[in-house]
Amino acid sequence: MNYLDPHIHMISRVTDDYQRLAYAGCQAVSEPAFWAGFDRGSAHGFRDYFRHLTEVEPRRAAQFGIAHYSWLCINAKEAENVSLSRDVLKLIPEFLDRPNVLGIGEIGLNKNTKNECTVFLEHVELAAKTNELILVHTPHLEDKYQGTRMILDMLRGDRRVDPRRVCIDHVEEHTVKLARNAGFWCGMTLYPLTKCTPQRAADIIERFGPEQMLVNSAGDWGKSDPLAVPEFIQEMKRRGHSPAVIRQIVFENPLAFFRQSRRWVEPAWTQDPH
């Protein structure tokens, strides 16, 4: 079954992973800007990083017939440094018209601090001014519920923010209802230890339904699996879910969200019935 991975960090994956994704039926990947494994010392590092996301990765993906899209921001972990964050925010507009950029993300909270909230709101301001989609990172583990509540409150406090143009990522059993009831898209991340498993994601779908739900691998340099979405597909098949429902979650839903980007150009592969 063809599918999209709407959140994967290919900069941290070897080229062989692109080949494996292609063999598994992946038609496109979406790569949010994220933490490099260390805190960068200046905005210059981010300029080079944004060039990599908008120039290098699309070429690497194209070798295997995969479309590569990206999101731009300074991530929540480094957002504690407000001065650096503001320098990075000044860089983002020069990259926003690159053809593979879908919007601003993954912005959000890490430890739910005042500085993180300040930088989150400044990203939202940029997205509102430039009419961009927003991809949101919610915190891990014990910080997730409170952080998700804080994020939703900040988004709902800005009348310019349309929930249909925002995806709240890394939702779990105790946060998915908060985001869905507020009208936002929801992403379930199939990542060992700190997020969902394919089995838990299938449970969430069975409880809440497939509407406005996405699944992703968030494959990065940690212990993660770039083929987690096909594992979810197999789990859904094992439980007897129809191909139409599975395709809605792994193909049609991410497409519906991405199509709202002002730079979206409909690719030929979207018409493939398989």
The pLDDT score that the predictor gives to residue 193 is 78
pTM above 0.95, yes or no: yes
CB-count burial class (<10 Å; 0-12, 13-18, 19+) for 97? exposed
- CATH at residue 208: 3.20.20.140
Domain of residue 10 covers 3-271
Please tell me the total count of domains within the chain.
1
For residue range 180-197, list pLDDT tens digits in order: 999 999 999 999 878 899
How far is CA 263 from each of CA 98, 207, 250, 255, 258, rounded to the nearest angstrom? 8, 34, 22, 13, 9
What's the first-to-final CA gap in the chain, in angstroms? 6
User: How many CB atoms are located within 10 Å of the residue 110 CB?
Assistant: 19
For residue range 38-87, list pLDDT tens digits in order: 999 999 999 999 999 999 999 999 999 999 999 999 999 999 999 999 99
CB-CB contact of 74 with 46 (8 Å): yes
Per the listing, tokens 């915190």 go with 139
For residue range 221-263, list pLDDT tens digits in order: 999 999 999 999 999 999 999 999 999 999 999 999 999 999 9
Better-scored residue on pLDDT, 192 or 110: 110
Is the pLDDT confidence value at 273 over 60?
Answer: no
Rounded CA separation 19/8 (Å)? 15
Q: Which residues of 223-253 are buried (b: 16+ CB within 10 A; e: fewer)?
A: ebbbbbbbbbbebbeeeebeeeebbbbbbeb
